[in-house]
DNA sequence: CAGCATCCAGCCCGATACTG
DNA sequence: CAGTATCGGGCTGGATGCTG
C-alpha cells in the first residue's frame, strides 16, 4: 500500500546519527489510530472527560463549536476504540454518561501535555503567523 | 473559517464542581493551533524532523503515503507557525532543508509521547474495534 | 434528553502536468 | 530537485427535522 519507494540506493545525507529512528513502522493501524486521536474533536473531548464522567448535554456545552452530530460521531469512535465508555441510565428523561476507560486514562497525560503546549505557545504561534503573513 | 455557531445562550447547568477546569478558553487561536498540530501529516513530519534537519526529498520518502502537494502544504503551515524553518541553498540542483525551530523542539517530547502511546496501544485499540464491530 | 436520518455545501487531498 | 497550478471526487461536518 505504501513504502513503494522507487528502489534507489539510500543515499542518506548522513546528517542523522541513528538511521533506525524512523517512524514506528508506517503500519496501517498506526495511521488509522493517529487519525482518530488527531481528528477535529477527539483531543477536546478526551481533555474534558479527563476531569470526570459527563453526560451528553454537558459535554456538548463544554466543547466549543461542536455540533450534536459531530459530538455523537466522535464519542462513537472513541467508544469503538475503547477510549471512552458509554453508560445509559434507565430513567426518564434519559441520561447517558461518558467517561474515560483505563485505556483512555492512559492517554490523559499525553493529551493534557499537548493542550498545555498549545496554550503555552499560542501567542508565540499567532505572532509567527502574523509575521509570516506580512512579508 | 468555522465557529460560525449561531450564538446559543450559555445556560450552563452547574453540575460540575469546578467551572474553571474547562478548556483553556475556547479561544479562536486555540482551536486553530490545535487543528494545525492535529492535522493529517504534521505529527509525522514533526516526529521525523525531531531527529535532525532533512531535505524535501528525503522527508517525502520518510513520511509514508504523503503526496508532494500535502508535504509542501504541511511544511508551509508549520513554517508559518514558526515550528519548522526552511533553508534554501543556492546550488544546482536546488537543495532545501527543513528543521525544527526552538519552538518546534519544544514540541518534540509531546509529539514523541503521542506517537509512543499510539504505538504502545495500537493492538489494544484494534482489538477493541474488532470487538465493537462484531456485536 | 439524547440521538439518528437526511441533505448538501465546501474543503481536503490525491493525481497529474508543468516550471525554475 | 523542489516545487507550483489545476482539476475533481470523496468525505467532513453543519443545519434541520424527527424519535424513544
Burial state string for B75-112 with b = 16 or more CB within 10 A and e = fewer than 16: bebbbbbbbbbeeeeeeeeeeebbbbbebbeebeebbe
pLDDT band at residue B25, thresholds of 50, 70 and 90? low
Structure confidence at residue B26 (pLDDT): 55
Please report the residues numbered 47 through 76 in chain B whose beta carbons come closer than 8 angstroms to any beta carbon of chain A.
47-48, 51-55, 58, 61-65
What cell numbers appear for B60 in the block? 517525502
Q: Which long-range contacts (CB under 8 A, 24 or more apart) does B36-40 make?
A: B36/B77, B36/B78, B36/B81, B37/A38, B37/A114, B37/A118, B37/B107, B38/A37, B38/A38, B38/A39, B38/A40, B38/A43, B39/A38, B39/B74, B39/B77, B40/A35, B40/A38, B40/B70
State mean pLDDT over B117-122.
92
Q: How many CB atoms lie within 10 A of CB A8?
A: 7
Structure confidence at residue B1 (pLDDT): 33
The percentage of residues in chain A with a pLDDT greater than 70, rounded to a whole number, is 79
pLDDT band at residue B21, thresholds of 50, 70 and 90? low
Range scoring the smallest mean pLDDT among A63-67, A82-86, B9-13, B15-19: B9-13
Residue B113 has pLDDT above 50, yes or no: yes
Range scoring the smallest mean pLDDT among B24-33, B109-118, B123-132: B24-33
Structure confidence at residue A19 (pLDDT): 37
- Average predicted confidence (pLDDT) for chain B: 82
Do the chains contact at A117 and B126, CB–CB below 8 Å? no
Number of separate helices (H) and strands (E) present in chain B? 5, 3
Q: How far is B87 from chain A (nearest CA, A)?
A: 15
Residues of A with CB below 8 A from B58's CB? 12-13
Interatomic separation, CA of residue B70 and C1' of nucleotide C13, rounded (Å)? 7
What cell numbers appear for B39 in the block? 492535522
Residue B22 has pLDDT above 90, yes or no: no
Please report the residues numbered 99 through 118 in chain B whose beta carbons come closer than 8 angstroms to any beta carbon of chain A.
103, 106-107, 109-110, 113-115, 117-118
**Alpha carbon distance B64, A3 (integer Å):** 6
Burial (CB count within 10 angstroms: exposed 0-12, middle 13-18, buried 19+), residue B24: middle
Q: Cα Rg for chain A, rounded, in angstroms?
A: 20
Residues A44, B27: contact at Cβ < 8 Å? Answer: no
Q: How far is A50 from chain B (nearest CA, A)?
A: 10
Q: How far is B42 from chain A (nearest CA, A)?
A: 10
Structure confidence at residue A36 (pLDDT): 86
The residues of chain A scoring below 50 in pLDDT are 1-20
Structure confidence at residue B57 (pLDDT): 96
Do the chains contact at A15 and B52, CB–CB below 8 Å? yes
Residue B3 has pLDDT above 60, yes or no: no
**Per-residue model confidence as pLDDT tens digits over B44-101:** 999 999 999 999 999 999 998 899 999 999 999 999 999 999 999 999 999 999 999 9
Residue B13 has pLDDT above 60, yes or no: no
Residue among A100, A99, A96, A83 at smallest CA distance from A56: A96
pLDDT band at residue B103, thresholds of 50, 70 and 90? very high
Residues B98, B92: contact at Cβ < 8 Å? Answer: no
Residue among A33, A35, A64, A68 at smallest CA distance from A47: A64
**Per-residue model confidence as pLDDT tens digits over A89-104:** 999 999 999 999 999 9
Amino acid at each position: 500500500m505504501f513504502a513503494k519507494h522507487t528502489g534507489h540506493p539510500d543515499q542518506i545525507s548522513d546528517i542523522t546519527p541513528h538511521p533506525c529512528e524512523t517512524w514506528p513502522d508506517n503500519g496501517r493501524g498506526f495511521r488509522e489510530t493517529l487519525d482518530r486521536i488527531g481528528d477535529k474533536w477527539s483531543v477536546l473531548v478526551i481533555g474534558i472527560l479527563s476531569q470526570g464522567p459527563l453526560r451528553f448535554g454537558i459535554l456538548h456545552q463544554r466543547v466549543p463549536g461542536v455540533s450534536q452530530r459531530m459530538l455523537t460521531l466522535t464519542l462513537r469512535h472513541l467508544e469503538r476504540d475503547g477510549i471512552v465508555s458509554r453508560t445509559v441510565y434507565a430513567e426518564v428523561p434519559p441520561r447517558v454518561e461518558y467517561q474515560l476507560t483505563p485505556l483512555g486514562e492512559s492517554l490523559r497525560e499525553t493529551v493534557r501535555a499537548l493542550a498545555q503546549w498549545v496554550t503555552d505557545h499560542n501567542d508565540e504561534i499567532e505572532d509567527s503567523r502574523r509575521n509570516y503573513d506580512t512579508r
